[in-house]
Amino acid sequence: MAPTETASGLSVRDACILGLVEGVTEYLPVSSTGHLVVATHLLGLESNQPLTDHNGQPLWHQQPSARHPAGVPLTPTLAADTFTIVIQFGAIAAVALLYWRQLLSMLKGLRGRDPAGLRLLRNLIIAVAPSGVLGLALGAWISAHLFSIGAVVAAQVVGAVFILWAERYRRRRAAQAPVAEHGAELTPRQALNIGLLQCVALWPGTSRSMMTIVGGYLAGLDPRQSAEFSFLLGLATLTAATALKSYESGAAMIQVYGWSHILLGCVVAAVTAALAIRFLVTWLSRHGMAVFAWYRLAFAAVLAALTWL
């Protein structure tokens, strides 16, 4: 199958839909990965047919190496998976633009001019480390075994129950003790605990945002500050994951889809992510996360019915 044939399988509409799904769901506690798995399935972007370039040479997801002598050929499914990771650059840009003051504070902290910024940077580094290590160790296994509709449905249901428990815990704790002011006030141990919870989100359908916001609850942050720490942690986590995926198979994906589709998806993701972030901060401050638990249960039920009935 030539790249020109495959490229036509990712239309402007497809790029916009995937960018929209990524932007809306990346920071809401509903799982962007789970929704993107469903979206790529519904758009018909799944196929295990190996792709070749115009000269008939294979395109590689992983080049042949000592560890993988046969290599891992690029397929439409892997190209779509890479695309859904790379368009996270849009979601990353949204956080960078909305929270540039915190980023500047951390830069000043490195220069010894902002102690709070340095503590925030320390906490983010500690929190991102566990999922970085585990993701590198288990990434291939997760991609091979957990990117399925069934895995997403299970994670959506379990996540909904977890949210409802976390909301009860937060309200009970808020009535008994003051909350921390912001992420810079977290202790290294609390930051590590949030990072360990983020590891659970490697299971597609769980939601990195959900796990880190709940981690903020458990550390004593209020909903707004939990969400903002989650956004900044996502900035670090998503940047690392996106950069790694781009390095592994980004060039081959560009050959398949072309720059225009990738840039379009990133722009749509950036705009919708910025709107979703503003919405989430306001909503959590007033209502908490419970509504997202009910959404997850409804989404899981509809998905299960469409898949198995």
Predicted pLDDT of residue 9: 54
Q: What is the mean pLDDT of residues 297-304?
A: 94
Widest pairwise Cα distance in the chain: 68
Residue 146 has pLDDT above 90, yes or no: no
Residues 6+ apart with CB under 8 A from 43: 14, 17, 18
d(C-alpha 37, C-alpha 204), whole Å:
8
d(C-alpha 29, C-alpha 25), whole Å:
7
d(C-alpha 132, C-alpha 134), whole Å:
6
Place of tokens 């722009």: 267
Residues 6+ apart with CB under 8 A from 128: 195, 198, 233, 236, 237, 240
Residue 11 has pLDDT above 50, yes or no: yes
Extents of the domains making up the chain = 3-308
Residue 188 has pLDDT above 80, yes or no: yes
Residue 5 has pLDDT above 50, yes or no: no
Predicted pLDDT of residue 259: 87
Predicted pLDDT of residue 47: 80
Residue 70 has pLDDT above 60, yes or no: yes
Predicted pLDDT of residue 92: 94
List the Cα angle 180/202/233 in 5-degree steps.
35
Q: How many CA atoms lie within 13 A of 26 on its CB side?
A: 37
Q: What is the mean pLDDT of residues 300-304?
A: 93
Give the Cβ contact number of residue 108 at 10 Å. 16
DSSP characters over 207-219 = -HHHHHHHHHHHH
Judge contact between 39 and 21, C-beta under 8 A. Answer: yes
d(C-alpha 256, C-alpha 275), whole Å:
30
Q: What is the mean pLDDT of residues 27-49?
A: 88
First to last CA, the chain: 33
Residues 6+ apart with CB under 8 A from 171: 288
Q: How confident is the model at residue 63 (pLDDT cuts 50, 70, 90)?
A: confident
- The burial of 96, by beta-carbon neighbours within 10 Å (0-12 exposed, 13-18 middle, 19 or more buried), is given as middle
Residue 134 has pLDDT above 70, yes or no: yes
- The burial of 110, by beta-carbon neighbours within 10 Å (0-12 exposed, 13-18 middle, 19 or more buried), is given as exposed
List the Cα angle 166/227/36 in 5-degree steps.
90
Q: What is the mean pLDDT of residues 205-228?
A: 92
Distance of CA 164 to the CA centre of its chain: 21
Predicted pLDDT of residue 69: 83
Q: How confident is the model at residue 111 (pLDDT cuts 50, 70, 90)?
A: very high
Predicted pLDDT of residue 264: 94
Q: What is the pLDDT of residues 230-282, one digit of tens each?
A: 999 999 999 988 898 888 778 777 877 888 889 999 999 999 999 999 999 99
Q: What is the mean pLDDT of residues 112-136?
A: 93
d(C-alpha 183, C-alpha 118), whole Å:
11
Q: What is the DSSP letter of 43?
A: T
Residue 147 has pLDDT above 90, yes or no: no
Residue 178 has pLDDT above 70, yes or no: no
Give the Cβ contact number of residue 169 at 10 Å. 13
Closest-CA residue to 207 (of 197, 216, 217, 193): 197
Predicted pLDDT of residue 50: 84
Judge contact between 220 and 179, C-beta under 8 A. Answer: yes
Predicted pLDDT of residue 25: 95
Q: Which amino acid is at 177?
A: A
Closest-CA residue to 217 (of 264, 174, 269): 174
Closest-CA residue to 36 (of 147, 162, 136, 140): 147
Predicted pLDDT of residue 278: 95
Instruction: Give just the sign of the alpha carbon dihedral 24, 211, 233, 169.
Output: positive
Among residues of the chain, what percentage have pLDDT more than 70? 94
